[in-house]
Amino acid sequence: MRQRTQGRALDLALDPGKPRYSMEAALEAEGLVKRYGARTAVQDLSFRVPKGSIYGVLGPNGAGKSSTLRMLVGVLRPTAGRITVLGGAADRETMKRVGYLPEERGLYRGMSARAAIAYLARLKGTPAGKAFKRADQLLADHGLGSVRRKKVKTLSKGMAQKVQVLGAIAHEPDLIIFDEPFSGLDPVNQRVLEDTIRAEAAAGRTVVFSTHVMEHAERLCDRILLIAQGRAAFEGTVRDALALAPAIAVVETDGEYDMAPVLQPLGFKWVEELGEHGNRRWRVTLENGHGSRQLLQACVEAGAPLSLFEPARASLHEAFVALVGDKVAVSAAE
């Protein structure tokens, strides 16, 4: 059996370091409200996106993420509240410096991939020659050079989505806003998109994206806004959000041994994960007086054939549940 100390778990935590982004705001929202008739989709949201940062707007489907992003780019008018984009009003000139990928994908299907990207860049004021040169370079850099002259309607769904992502950044905007950019992409292309987001931030641009898959935010974001039922549940760094989650222990048992009869009577919460080498693995929440010592004692007293017992870093999903409660998290997801 391998047993590790809590100190080892803390070593796995994110190193805060010094922020690589500016404290100047690229985007500010104050008291945002959006109502659709009698339904309130967004209620009193306030947040500040530092210039040069990667900022995640997170929450389950239906939490109000898309409504929030549409207000930021002027697609929707807020019922109440104030928005400042790149230091000024979100007018037509300012929005030329913003790249936007909407949740509802849409390209002219009869255009070639390079023409579609160049067209989106030209809408933002890029001269035609530069727009086509930029389109060719982006397609080549992202492994799509061979399809640059193919019509959008002949591309796979994933390829077409990558083309639209490239169209959103072709004019080299100062602020990039992606609404659920990872939706519909396979794991390989999700990693490619993560690399693209990192590269844009490294070039000094500010990237805001929404997602309901919190693992992307854990890997990418400097700061996050967690939304539940249209309201802010948390705003701050990923590290600070994870600090609000309960401690976690990972237990692995040999063979088909079932830990549920051991955990349930003692009030532990758990989820079963995919184990290794034919073993079963359990991710156990340590809270309400149920600590690692009590868990280990219960395992020993039950004669559980342990192959692993170690602390683990909490996930953003676990932090979200800790912030809003099980019932709210479940009802929001539904």
Cβ pair 260, 287 in contact under 8 A: no
Q: Given 214, 242, 270, which residue is the final one in a domain? A: 242
pLDDT in tens, 139-183: 999 989 999 999 999 998 888 999 999 999 999 999 999 999 998
> Alpha-carbon torsion 67, 97, 56, 213, what sign?
positive
The confidence score (pLDDT) of residue 172 equals 96
Whose CA is closest to 193, among 141, 145, 150? 141
Do 140 and 99 sit in the same domain of this protein?
yes
The CB-based long-range contact list for 39-43 (8 Å cut-off, 24+ gap) reads 40/230, 41/67, 41/230, 42/67, 42/68, 42/71, 42/230, 43/230, 43/231
The distance in angstroms from the start CA to the end CA of the chain is 39
Query: Does the predicted model carry a pTM greater than 0.75?
Result: yes
User: Residue written as tokens 């989106």?
Assistant: 120
Cβ pair 210, 65 in contact under 8 A: yes
Do 229 and 101 sit in the same domain of this protein?
yes
C-alpha 247/C-alpha 230 separation (Å) is 28
Classify residue 50: in a domain, yes or no. yes
Do 46 and 87 sit in the same domain of this protein?
yes
- Domains: count for the chain: 2
Q: Determine the structural domain holding residue 8 and report its residue range.
A: 2-12+245-333
Q: Given 192, 216, 242, which residue is the final one in a domain? A: 242
Classify residue 20: in a domain, yes or no. no
Backbone φ and ψ of 46, nearest 5°: -135, 130
Do 150 and 279 sit in the same domain of this protein?
no
Q: Is 79 exposed, middle or buried (0-12, 13-18, 19+ CB in 10 A)?
A: middle
Mean pLDDT by 10 residues, the chain (334 residues): 38 46 87 95 95 94 92 94 92 93 87 96 96 96 92 90 94 96 89 94 96 89 93 93 89 90 89 82 83 90 92 86 65 45
C-alpha 312/C-alpha 296 separation (Å) is 15
Do 140 and 199 sit in the same domain of this protein?
yes
User: Residue written as tokens 């909490």?
Assistant: 314
The confidence score (pLDDT) of residue 7 equals 37
Q: Given 199, 227, 242, which residue is the final one in a domain? A: 242
Do 120 and 149 sit in the same domain of this protein?
yes
Do 306 and 228 sit in the same domain of this protein?
no
Do 162 and 291 sit in the same domain of this protein?
no
Q: Are strands 175-179 and 206-211 parallel, antiparallel or unpaired?
A: parallel
Q: Is 290 exposed, middle or buried (0-12, 13-18, 19+ CB in 10 A)?
A: buried
CATH number at residue 95: 3.40.50.300
pLDDT in tens, 97-118: 999 999 887 888 999 999 999 9
**Between the CA of residue 187 and those of 169, 184, 192, 251, what are the distances in Å?**
21, 10, 9, 27
The confidence score (pLDDT) of residue 21 equals 67
CATH number at residue 250: 3.30.70.1710
Do 125 and 161 sit in the same domain of this protein?
yes
